[in-house]
Each structure stands twice: as C-alpha cells, then as structure tokens.
Amino acid sequence: MFIGEYLHSLDHKGRVSIPKKFRSDLEAGGVLTRGLESCLFLYAKNDWQKLLTKMEKLPLTKKESREFTRYLLAGAAEVKFDSLGRIMVPAYLREYAFLTDETSVIGVGQRVELWDKIRWEKYRKEVEKKSEEIAQSLEELGL
C-alpha cells in the first residue's frame, strides 16, 4: 500500500526518484500512465494487470469505455528503477502532467501519483477547503 507525500526533483533527463518506502512494492517495475486532474498514475505491474482485467470487462459498445481504455493504455509506459531509485518519465507524460523541476510523489493506496509541485499544492488546498462536504457525500456511499 502506498501512502504519504514526498517532494523530489525531476532532473534534466526526465528522471525522478521514487521514495524508498514505495520501491519494494515496485521492485518488478511498474507502469506509468496519464492520470486524472493532470497527474500521472504509477502502478505496480501486478496492480496494473488487475486494472487491465477489469478494463477488459468493460463493454466495447460503450463509447466511454473505449475512450477511457484508450486514454489509459495509449499513454502507458513500462518503467524500471535505475541504481539510484529513479524512473524515467517519458517526455509526453512530463508534458501532460506539467512536470518541471519539483515533483510531488503521492501515495494513494494501490497507486502512486506524480504531480507538479505547484499544481499539487493548489489541488490539495482546494480539496481541504471542501473536505467536510466530500466526507458527507462519501458517507452516503457507506464510507
């Protein structure tokens, strides 16, 4: 399980260090893809496979299913760690997530998210302002 918030630098070659706490679950490598809210999702290979299995069950006849599948899979890249615990973030994913120098690496359960530091801080503050409202709406779902 991935939890916590860390700040790491993105180097000029597009490499970012992943927190040591996260690396054991990602030892076999991972899959990095476009996320939501202009961040990137990083999945361990076994969790990525579980997601793929669920996506294969989506109805091909539904336009939203096809669009979401294309969105996640076309933007995906397999990643491995170098000797310093860094992964290479492809240029098209750096551009999508507006990653420049400082990258927030966020653990959110079964995935890791990579955010531009400024965008993450802005997003987090917006969510914090409405956290009670969000909690109430999730209570209706049994959380």
Q: Which domain holds residue 86?
A: 2-117
The CATH code of the domain that includes 83 is: 3.40.1550.20
Per the DSSP assignment, residues forming a β-bridge with 133 are: none
With respect to residue 82, please indicate whether it lies within any of the assigned structural domains.
yes
With respect to residue 103, please indicate whether it lies within any of the assigned structural domains.
yes
With respect to residue 131, please indicate whether it lies within any of the assigned structural domains.
no
CA atoms within 13 A of residue 67's CA, in its CB half-sphere: 3
Phi–psi pair at 113, nearest 5 degrees: -115, 140
| Total tally of structural domains belonging to the chain | 1
Measured between alpha carbons, how far is 122 from 22 in angstroms, rounded to an integer? Answer: 24
With respect to residue 129, please indicate whether it lies within any of the assigned structural domains.
no
pTM of full prediction above 0.75: yes
With respect to residue 36, please indicate whether it lies within any of the assigned structural domains.
yes
pLDDT digits (tens, 9 = 90+) for 36-81: 999 999 999 999 999 999 999 999 899 999 999 999 999 999 999 9
Count of CB atoms situated within 10 Å of the CB of 33? 21
Task: Place 143 in a pLDDT band, splitting at 50, 70 and 90.
Answer: low
